[in-house]
């Protein structure tokens, strides 16, 4: 059985990008010498280039505003933020690194960190963390499973995020339903969905924004005691009857009970939850801003519990900042990362994700940002029942294989048994091609 996030590995990313397989050199992991700057004295402020993919005007402005207090407190360091397209980001970064033109700091994802660290692309931050005595126990979110590799730490937390359960309270009221209790079950979920589904008005009880494993259907896989991969992350386990039972529950919501639309029926359309046509929405934390502007009353709900196993589960992951080994100003770049993963950075970016620091998540300021909704429901589920996206260096490749095969379940073109058999065959073949350097 999977374990809560505080006891086992945690996951990703909030973005599914095309993964590019790279050739590895024989470089050893790069570790900056503790207490030693890697650049000499410079005339005037040192410029640190920080690259990130752009995630919209509001997100970009939040990052720029977050860095202003850092620059004010560190007049000898100027941070130049470079926003880039998401598409091709990793390709461009690798090309720049090979040519010695990479930025000092980059946003990072769990599927890039091991391939990059294995070829000496990223600097191990652990010596800096140890030297400056950062209290890693202050984080509710453990970073090692995603950002650690062979004893080192290759990322400083940007924020966490993942699966949220949104409820349209206006539809609840119109249907005569009370808000779900904290201990509601899968049976309750189905009962609510049946009452809120109205084919005559194209109204649905449930919708899942990203349905395929390791995304939102995975909460139901875990709920029945199943997993997507084994503990070592080197074998697909979707053919286990427990995992299949979780997927079958989701399939039944679509095909048997008809309370959830098949994903293919919504291609190219606006999210029906935003148009008020869905009562219960399994979506991403990154969708909160759009939902807040949709014009109806809503709130966060706890993930439902499987009454037979007593299990509730939610998917989550993180993004981080990494230091490039080609940086000529590693000491100054580390100071930027230290700020961003610390109180200042976590407060500055808390509009866009879940802060990792317990002090920030517990703050009234964080709650006020999400009023009138109760954000405690969201982050408490993360802290107690969070499960990763099964971080591996080849996530994009095996995620795509799983998505291709399990999509046939929701359309009715394949049974759960048929789809998971094909998915595991494809995934295990991908894992068999892994370079030895990727071993954690």
pLDDT in tens, 28-58: 456 654 444 444 444 679 999 999 998 888 8
Minimal CA–CA distance to 309: which of 189, 420, 238, 224? 224
What is the per-residue pLDDT for 117?
Answer: 94
Same fold, 30-161+316-387 and 162-315+392-438: yes
pLDDT in tens, 337-370: 999 999 999 999 998 888 999 999 999 999 999 9
Q: By the 8 A CB rule, do 419 and 406 touch?
A: yes
Average pLDDT score over the chain? 89
What is the per-residue pLDDT for 100?
Answer: 96
- For the chain, the straight-line distance linking the first and the last C-alpha, in angstroms and rounded, comes to 22
Question: Residue 151: how many CB atoms within 10 A of its CB?
Answer: 11
pLDDT in tens, 400-419: 999 999 999 999 999 999 99
pLDDT (mean) for 276-282:
97
Using CA atoms, how far apart are residues 375 and 298, in angstroms rounded to an integer? 12
What is the per-residue pLDDT for 225?
Answer: 98
pLDDT in tens, 197-209: 999 999 999 999 9
Residue 269 has pLDDT above 90, yes or no: no
pLDDT (mean) for 98-112:
95
Residue 324 has pLDDT above 80, yes or no: yes
Whether CATH 3.40.50.10420 fits 162-315+392-438: no
CATH class of this structure's domain 30-161+316-387: alpha beta
Give residue 2's pLDDT band: very low, low, confident or very high (50, 70, 90).
very low
Q: By the 8 A CB rule, do 169 and 150 touch?
A: no
Among the listed ranges 88-92, 310-314, 342-346, 395-399, which one has the minimum average pLDDT value?
A: 395-399
Residue 75 has pLDDT above 90, yes or no: yes
pLDDT (mean) for 173-197:
97
Domain ranges of the chain: 30-161+316-387, 162-315+392-438
Residue 161 has pLDDT above 50, yes or no: yes
What is the per-residue pLDDT for 320?
Answer: 96
Using CA atoms, how far apart are residues 391 and 110, in angstroms rounded to an integer? 6
Residue 245 has pLDDT above 60, yes or no: yes
Query: For the chain, what percent of residues have pLDDT higher than 90?
Result: 76
């Amino acid at each position: 059985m999977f374990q809560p996030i505080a006891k086992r590995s945690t996951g990703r990313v909030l973005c599914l990008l095309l993964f590019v397989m790279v050739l590895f050199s024989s470089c050893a992991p790069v570790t900056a010498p503790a207490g030693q700057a890697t650049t000499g004295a410079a005339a005037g402020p040192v410029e640190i280039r920080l690259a990130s993919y752009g995630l919209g005007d509001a997100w970009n402005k939040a990052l720029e505003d977050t860095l202003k207090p850092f620059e004010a407190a560190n007049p000898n360091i100027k941070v130049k933020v470079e926003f880039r397209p998401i598409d091709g980001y990793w390709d461009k970064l690798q090309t720049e690194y090979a040519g010695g033109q990479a930025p000092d700091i980059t946003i990072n994802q769990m599927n890039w960190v091991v391939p990059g660290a294995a070829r000496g692309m990223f600097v191990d931050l652990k010596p800096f963390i140890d030297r400056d005595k950062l209290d890693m126990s202050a984080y509710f979110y453990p970073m090692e499973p995603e950002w650690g590799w062979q004893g080192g730490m290759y990322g400083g937390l940007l924020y966490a995020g993942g699966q949220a359960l949104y409820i349209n309270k206006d539809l609840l009221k119109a249907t005569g339903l009370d808000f779900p209790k904290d201990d509601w079950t899968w049976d309750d979920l189905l009962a609510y969905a049946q009452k809120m589904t109205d084919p005559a008005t194209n109204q649905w009880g449930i919708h899942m924004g990203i349905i395929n494993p390791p995304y939102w259907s995975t909460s139901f896989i875990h709920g029945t005691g199943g997993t997507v991969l084994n503990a070592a992350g080197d074998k697909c386990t979707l053919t286990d009857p427990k995992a299949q039972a979780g997927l079958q529950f989701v399939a039944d919501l679509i095909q048997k009970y008809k309370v959830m639309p098949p994903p293919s029926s919504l291609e190219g359309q606006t999210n029906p939850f935003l148009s008020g046509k869905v009562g219960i929405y399994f979506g991403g934390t990154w969708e909160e801003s759009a939902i807040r502007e949709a014009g109806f009353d809503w709130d966060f709900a706890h993930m439902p519990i499987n009454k037979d196993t007593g299990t509730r589960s939610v998917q989550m992951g993180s993004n981080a900042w990494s230091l490039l080994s080609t940086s000529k100003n590693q000491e100054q770049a580390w100071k930027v990362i230290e700020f961003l993963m610390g109180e200042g950075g976590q407060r500055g970016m808390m509009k866009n994700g879940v802060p990792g620091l317990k002090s920030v998540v517990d703050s009234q300021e964080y709650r006020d940002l999400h009023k009138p909704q109760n954000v405690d429901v969201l982050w408490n589920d993360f802290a107690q029942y969070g499960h990763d996206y099964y971080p591996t260096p080849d996530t994009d490749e095996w995620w795509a294989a799983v998505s291709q095969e399990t999509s046939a379940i929701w359309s009715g073109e394949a049974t759960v048994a048929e789809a998971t058999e094909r998915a595991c065959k494809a995934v295990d073949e991908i894992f068999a091609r892994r370079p030895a350097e990727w071993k954690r």
